[in-house]
Structure 1
């Protein structure tokens, strides 16, 4: 698809990957509506329209109606908002679990529910969802995050097949570890200890835009992460055993860097 012909709704555009996406789209002179709980953080740029939207709100469906009434030309949506917390499950509060389910999964479903019929009727449109390698590989300390990203991957796959006889493009992009402010220092230290490669938000943003331009259905980022996704799907016990060897190190960081 040609990006310059589109009017984008960007969800999660005030930090990390979303900000890098906004910068790239704005530099290209593309019209972007940036929806955020804190639209004042977007700043003033040509063809960039900040709007207030709370993805965790109970009335998100009604907010989406008002938003699309105000901006009826929206024909592409990038959902890259997300929440996570590196923690053992027993230390997660109900509110924290609900927040991740609400922002990472429920909001994506409601956004697609709202815009897919509009795009289908218009005869074109794109729904782009930013997932994670942890949407294919369960990782200790990220049980809730993995659950939401596994759910997002399954949702986009089903939605793509549901809309297969329409002109609506459904794209799922799964980054690996990315250097964003969402990661606390303990996670940065864990990645270094495990020898994990970490991408910049700009690298991920570039890959998302390439996936859209190329008409990709799904794109997994990073090597060997792409290989691990395949192995985990075919021979999960191999990944179980590899994770078991790393578990003492992971548990150390789950306990604040203290040795068990």
Structure 2
């Protein structure tokens, strides 16, 4: 997809990957709106406009309408907002579960519901959704997060096929673990203990820009994570065994939240 001189709405632009995307999009000549609940509280580069959006709001559809009424030339939306909680099922609160469902999945579906007819009327547009490796592999301590990302992957797959005879583009982009502030210190320590790589957000953002420019439909990052995704799809018992070996370490971090 062409980025130059096209206006994009960035959701999650105040997070790690989103912040890293802003200078890259600007360098490609894109025009940019960044969604935030408090537009007056953030500082953005010259040429970037903050717009008010609360992805957890009941009236998200009305807020999106207000944005598109003011900016009818929007070409694309990049949804990289997300929430996660590293907690076992019994440790998770109902609020934790609801927050992840609302931000990670419900908001993405409402975004598509709003923009698909608009982009059809404009005869083109792009919907980009940032998922996760955990949208393909269930991982202990992330059951709710995995559920939302599995749901997002399924939704985008169905949406892309639903729009296959239209000029609209749908991209599902799945990074592996990324070193952002969304991860508590216990998760960073867990990944270090298990030898799991954590990519810098700038590297992830650069690969997302590349995927957009190359008109990718789906993109999974990381090795051996991409291999595990493939194996999990056809031989999940092999991944079950690998996870079982890791489980004692994961459980220690779940129970204590500190490196042991």
Task: Give the direction of change, closer, same or farther, for the CA distance of 1:9–1:246 in structure 2 (3 Å limit).
Answer: same
Which moves more between the two structures, 131-140 or 116-125? 116-125
Alignment of 1:150-161 (within 5 A): 150-161=150-161
Cα offsets for 1:192-241 (capped at 9, x unmatched): 00100110101111111111100100000001100000000000000001
- Structure 1 residue 39 displacement after superposition: 2.5
Cα offsets for 1:13-42 (capped at 9, x unmatched): 012001001121134442100011132354
Equivalent residue number for residue 247 of structure 2: 247
Equivalent residue number for residue 164 of structure 1: 164
User: SS at the partner of 2:25?
Assistant: helix
Count the aligned residue pairs.
260
Which moves more between the two structures, 115-124 or 95-104? 115-124
**Is the counterpart of residue 232 in structure 1 residue 223 in structure 2?**
no
TM-score (norm. length: structure 1) = 0.97
Alignment of 1:1-260 (within 5 A): 1-257=1-257
**Partner Cα distance (1:245, 1:8) in 2:** 44
Q: Which runs of 4+ in 1 moved over 4 A?
A: 257-260
**Partner Cα distance (1:255, 1:243) in 2:** 17
Task: Give the direction of change, closer, same or farther, for the CA distance of 1:4–1:42 in structure 2 (3 Å limit).
Answer: farther
**Partner Cα distance (1:130, 1:124) in 2:** 20
Cα RMSD of the aligned pairs, angstroms, is 1.4
**Partner Cα distance (2:95, 2:243) in 1:** 28
User: SS at the partner of 1:97?
Assistant: helix
- Structure 1 residue 259 displacement after superposition: 9.4
Cα offsets for 1:98-138 (capped at 9, x unmatched): 10000000000000000011111211110000000000000
**Partner Cα distance (1:11, 1:128) in 2:** 10
Contact 1:26 1:46 in 2 (8 A): no
Contact 2:3 2:29 in 1 (8 A): no
